[in-house]
Amino acid sequence: YDRVVGDQVVTPSYDPHCTNGDVSGGCKPIAVVSAEKLRDFDEGPEETAFIANILKNDDRIGQYVIAPEAWNCIWKELIQRGKGLRTVYQRPGFVEDDYNFSREMLEEMMKELNRLIDKYSGSAWNSKPTANRIVALLKVHRTQIKKELGDVISGRRKLTSKDFLGPEERRRLQVKEEEETGNSTVSWKGKNNKDSVEYFNDLEHKARAEKRKKRRDARVKKRVEERREARKLEQNRTRVEGDASRVKDGETRALVANKTKVEGGVRRLKDDGTRKTDVDMPKRKRMTE
């Protein structure tokens, strides 16, 4: 967290594209969409219609939006039947409730949610529909996190070393395991240790290694398929050339046979003509005498 987000004080500023007028219509959001509602089997169709109406009312793309009769069908195909892009619902052997957070992390989430809710409920924002929807959605999240926090405090939700733990909770688990078993599976090197950073770095390294392995396996598979295809093409080429050679040899033999036959016929005709001339010569000689 410290490496990605950091703890420095950041001066609020607008994106230059917004201040320079590069974005048509300005940088104010047109609407706020809830991915959680979209994936919910009860509220999903209504959220889908909410998105579709936003697009339909846009003068630039409204004419290309399909008829309302098909909106619910598309939602069912994508969400209920799992077609299209994969979502968290399609992760094998995993549900969202498998993620557990420690008390200190949930309390930090509550602080941030309260800050945002207070900000967008203020007089500078509460007249905007988009801000009001953000507040409504954040309140839902706050209720869920408050319940989860209660489960963690009461012990109904058990934490393990594989959960998302802050430094204090990780240290507490380590001490508890050492007292009960004499050793600990919880990694912790002190209060100021960036154990969460190391944990997420390990996850990132593993994910990158897995991606590299998949890409490498894909390249190997592609090369094997290319070689197999090349062998097939070479075999086909050899077979075609062999067939052509056999055809050529057959044609050559046929031409030679025909030539021999013709030459034989010519010789016979010459021989017959010679014999006929020899027979007729005495007759002509007597007639001359």
Reported as a single tens digit per residue, the pLDDT across 192-218 is: 444 556 666 777 788 888 888 888 888
Q: What is the mean pLDDT of residues 73-98?
A: 79
* Dihedral sign of CA atoms 87, 91, 95, 101 in order: negative
Cα distance between residue 47 and residue 37, in whole Å: 6
Judge whether residue 248 has pLDDT over 70: no
Phi and psi torsions of 201, nearest 5°: -65, -40
Record the tokens describing residue 47, joined without a space: 């959220």
Record the tokens describing residue 269, joined without a space: 């005709």
Instruction: Give the contacts of 47 (CB within 8 A, at least 6 positions apart).
Output: 33, 34, 37, 38, 40
Judge whether residue 169 has pLDDT over 70: yes
> Does residue 144 or residue 173 have the better pLDDT?
144
90: confidence class by pLDDT, cuts 50, 70, 90: confident
Helix (H) or strand (E) holding 271: helix 195-288
Distances (CA, A) of 222 to 212, 215, 229, 231, 232: 15, 10, 10, 14, 15
Cα distance between residue 259 and residue 265, in whole Å: 10
Record the tokens describing residue 69, joined without a space: 């009769």
Q: What SS3 class is residue 24?
A: coil
Q: What value does the mean pLDDT of the chain take?
A: 80
Instruction: Give the contacts of 146 (CB within 8 A, at least 6 positions apart).
Output: 110
Cα distance between residue 57 and residue 52, in whole Å: 9
Residue closest to 138 by CA, chosen among 101, 109, 170, 169: 109
Give 100's DSSP letter: -
Residue closest to 72 by CA, chosen among 53, 56, 49, 42: 49
pLDDT digits (tens, 9 = 90+) for 119-130: 999 999 999 999
Cα distance between residue 126 and residue 132, in whole Å: 6
- 101 forms beta bridges with 164
Lookup result for tokens 């987000």: 5
pLDDT digits (tens, 9 = 90+) for 148-165: 999 999 988 888 887 888
Lookup result for tokens 């055809």: 247
